[in-house]
Chains A and B, each alone.
Chain A
Amino acid sequence: MSSNDTFDALSRAMARRASRRTAIKGGAALASAGVISGAALSSSSGVAAQDGANITFWFDTTGGAETAQCLIDNIVNPFNAQGGTQVEATMQPNGWTATQTALAGGAGPDIVVTPGPTYVMELAKAGQLLNLDEAAAAHGWDQTVLPWALDLGRVDGSIYSIPHEVESLVLWYNATLFDEHGWEVPNTMDELITLSQAVQDAGLIPFAHGNQEWRPANEWFVGEWLNQLAGPDLVYAALTGEAQWTDPAFVDAISKLNDMQQNGWFYGGLDRYYTGASADTASSLAYGDSAMKIEGTWFFSDAMMFFEESGQEWGWAPFPSTDGTDIFDLGIGSTYSINARTAAPEASAEFLNYWFSPEAQGIAVSVCGMGPAPVSIPEELLEGIDARQAAMINAVADASAAGNYGYTTWTFFPPKTITFLIENIERVWAGDLSVEDFLAEMQSVFDPELAAGDVPPLPARS
């Protein structure tokens, strides 16, 4: 009853799309601090950094303090060890709320981390972030950071942030269970629907989904069904205002999603979906009570942990589309910017340059189990990681390079539309709202946001 003691879910909500407890893989050999500091020294040599400048950096830990600690130990500390600029990294359990309040109140850390491009746009418009155009030119970020990702950090044509942690949604499945029943991994939506029915007929749960701890998980499914069934081209058109969300293809996609939910395929019914915690669903998949799971690439470390416990095997596949084409919806986990009030802009840029170097990102991926930043990491820096993870990283990287990717809601949709679809898809599932009305209302929420320029920059489709 007392009103103001705890706000955990709030902070979770702002920080990450999912909790990603990460198993540290100690084996990777490149963790030697020597490699890293050498690389950093060479990369910073061209820029006159303030001597011994101190910069602050808040790590959000709501998704896993272990990962944050790993990054501090293996990336930040070696940077500090080389002398010069010193980075004071603080583990902040309420990162985004603290950052937002501090910025609005005239303070905040030098390195500003946000949950995504829409947040950057708001901060940049408010003059809270430093224009990074010069730093990008000085450090050659247009060479290292993938073009679509660099564009995503633009506001009114200037760079204000660099995306971190590229992620995508894929189909995870229990390979042991599939073998036992002789099920084939589905390529198309029709195959997926047939398979789901077969799973249900076998007395099992098709999908291990629950949104109790992370209500926005709803948007994964809405976004995935829109992209995979109606196609990323149409989503792109709708996001740029050339098509409407009320398009019959979208109606069909959301209707299919609704049918699957109504069939009880998402964890055995709506009430269970709403009360399913991530540990419940992960172990349901790992122990073969459920057959599949649609979740982000960040699920990798959980998959490793839970399947090791159950002794079964997991596999992943691109999410089935209408015609069987592999479509990866791209998204990012967080963004990095520099506070407009920083006393040490060059030192902050120098640290960002280091943070997004292939060497540092190689460590983030191979030692700390993070999703990689949108930079090309040479293969030798990723030695020793799980083959399935490597395949996933490569597939996502190829898709992003080829430009035929789809659009995750949390990265490419404007904020009010996101909140709308997360909240109101539940009304569709509850039968309070028809699919047509849902999409029509979504269009009416989206229109003013499009007009106000709140849709994040969309890289042109190739």
Chain B
Amino acid sequence: MSANPATERTPKRIGRRRGVSLLLNHSVLLLLVAFALGPMVILVFNSLKTQAELGRNPLGFPESFVWQNFPDAWEIGRFSATMGNSGLLVLMTVSGVLLLGGMAAYSLAKLDLPGSGLVMLYLLVGASVPLQLFLVPLFFLWNRLGLTNSLPGLALIYIATNAPFAIFLLRSYMVQLPRDFEDAARVDGAGEFRIFTGIVAPLAWPGFLTVGLVVSLAVWNEFLLATVFLTDQKLFTVVTSYYNFTAQFSRNWALTSAGALMMIFPIIATFLLLQRRFIEGLTQGGLKG
């Protein structure tokens, strides 16, 4: 990384250096991929073993594939019932965060909000309050408002707790955007909301996708609020049923692994889907050069 710039001035050298260094890039990245994927591959292997094999062979390739672990885990975890609830929660939370958080980020990044420093300070302080500190008073309030045991009621809480991070991240994407387009639109008399939805949001598309993904994950995996605020079995989320399931089979790590994979599958599928659009968004955004 510390090549002497004086010797690398000619374009030819630069070209050769690029070719060589991409190889270096790939090898370093592949090492990191091994680090990230290794444990997950073991998780997949273990989901296909019997409990007995797991004891003898905790790290290796399965001797025989016990596919039955998956339908078993599906049944025991009652995933069919809980995935819908979690999906709804994710949908409500993400749309709330992206719309309301996006608007706030737009205001902070583009509208010279008077008192923006205070707003940001508030959001940061809000993000620094440990959940355990306000759990009981919040439950008391939500119970009074009739918002306990309700998916929208819980989604409101998730919107609030995820808002600071989302707003700051979206803002940092929006700050980077050139002002030309919006200024042109303002001259044409467009309202701010239209500029937000029509120009800035599409340009900050990768940021919105990233935030959407992060918030989805946070909601999908959330446990404490979900178990405290939803006590009706019909409203239980995927994590709740997953916990019921791990408690029951805490000794059966093979089944638990299958349950874990089942739980993360929808997230991975969504992520894959988003990744494609993520790339498309980048190229369509017209931001390159």
Which residues of A come within 8 Å of B, CB atoms? 2-8, 10-12, 19, 21, 58, 61-66, 90-94, 97-98, 101-102, 104-107, 109, 213, 278-279, 282-283, 302, 305, 309
Query: Most chain-B CB neighbours within 10 Å: which of A21, A90, A105, A107?
Result: A105
Q: Which residues of A contact B139 (CB under 8 A)?
A: 101-102, 104-105, 107
Q: Given A98-B228, A107-B143, A65–B221 Cβ distance below 8 Å?
A: no
Contact A97 B231, beta carbon cutoff 8 Å: no
Roughly how many angstroms separate A94 CA and B143 CA in the complex, as a whole number? 18
Please provide the chain B residues from 131 to 190 with a CB less than 8 Å away from any CB of chain A in the complex.
131, 135-137, 139-140, 142-144, 148, 161
Contact B250 A91, beta carbon cutoff 8 Å: no
B contacts with A: majority SS: helix
Roughly how many angstroms separate A98 CA and B135 CA in the complex, as a whole number? 10
Q: Given A3-B131, A6-B223, A105-B143, A93–B244 Cβ distance below 8 Å?
A: yes
Q: Given A62-B247, A91-B244, A93-B244, A6–B221 Cβ distance below 8 Å?
A: yes
Across the A-B interface, give the 6 residue pairs with the lowest CB-CB distance, nearest first. A105-B139, A94-B227, A93-B243, A65-B248, A105-B140, A5-B221
* B181-201 Cβ-contact flags toward A at 8 Å (1 or 0): 000000000000000000000
Out of A5, A61, A104, which one reaches B223, CB within 8 Å?
Answer: A5
Roughly how many angstroms separate A107 CA and B233 CA in the complex, as a whole number? 16
Q: Given A94-B228, A101-B228, A2–B218 Cβ distance below 8 Å?
A: yes
Q: Which residue of A lies closest to B242 (CB)?
A: A93
Roughly how many angstroms separate A7 CA and B226 CA in the complex, as a whole number? 11
Please provide the chain B residues from 230 to 262 with a CB less than 8 Å away from any CB of chain A in the complex.
231-233, 239-240, 243-251, 253
**B52: interface (CB < 8 Å):** yes
Contact A93 B247, beta carbon cutoff 8 Å: yes
Q: Which residues of A contact B228 (CB under 8 A)?
A: 94, 97-98, 101-102
A-B contact pairs, 20 of them (CB 8 A): A3-B130, A4-B131, A4-B222, A6-B221, A6-B224, A8-B223, A19-B247, A21-B248, A21-B249, A21-B251, A62-B247, A64-B247, A65-B244, A90-B233, A92-B227, A93-B243, A97-B224, A101-B135, A101-B136, A279-B251
Contact B244 A11, beta carbon cutoff 8 Å: no
Out of A12, A102, A302, which one reaches B231, CB within 8 Å?
Answer: A102
Q: Given A105-B140, A106-B140, A107-B148, A4–B247 Cβ distance below 8 Å?
A: no
A-B contacts, CB under 8 A, total: 107
**B55: interface (CB < 8 Å):** yes
Q: Which residue of B lies closest to A16 (CB)?
A: B247
Q: Given A65-B244, A66-B248, A105-B136, A93–B52 Cβ distance below 8 Å?
A: no
Roughly how many angstroms separate A58 CA and B227 CA in the complex, as a whole number? 12
Out of B130, B143, B227, which one reaches A11, CB within 8 Å?
Answer: B227
Q: Which residues of A contact B249 (CB under 8 A)?
A: 21
Q: Given A6-B239, A61-B244, A101-B136, A106–B143 Cβ distance below 8 Å?
A: yes
Q: Which residues of A contact B218 (CB under 8 A)?
A: 2, 4-5
Roughly how many angstroms separate A104 CA and B135 CA in the complex, as a whole number? 10
A367 to chain B, nearest CB (A): 17
Roughly how many angstroms separate A123 CA and B142 CA in the complex, as a whole number? 21
**B225: interface (CB < 8 Å):** yes
Roughly how many angstroms separate A92 CA and B140 CA in the complex, as a whole number? 20
B113 to chain A, nearest CB (A): 27
Roughly how many angstroms separate A73 CA and B222 CA in the complex, as a whole number? 29
Query: Most chain-A CB neighbours within 10 Å: which of B137, B221, B250, B253?
Result: B250
Contact A283 B55, beta carbon cutoff 8 Å: yes
Out of B143, B148, B245, B250, which one reaches A21, CB within 8 Å?
Answer: B250
Q: Given A58-B231, A101-B228, A94–B243 Cβ distance below 8 Å?
A: yes
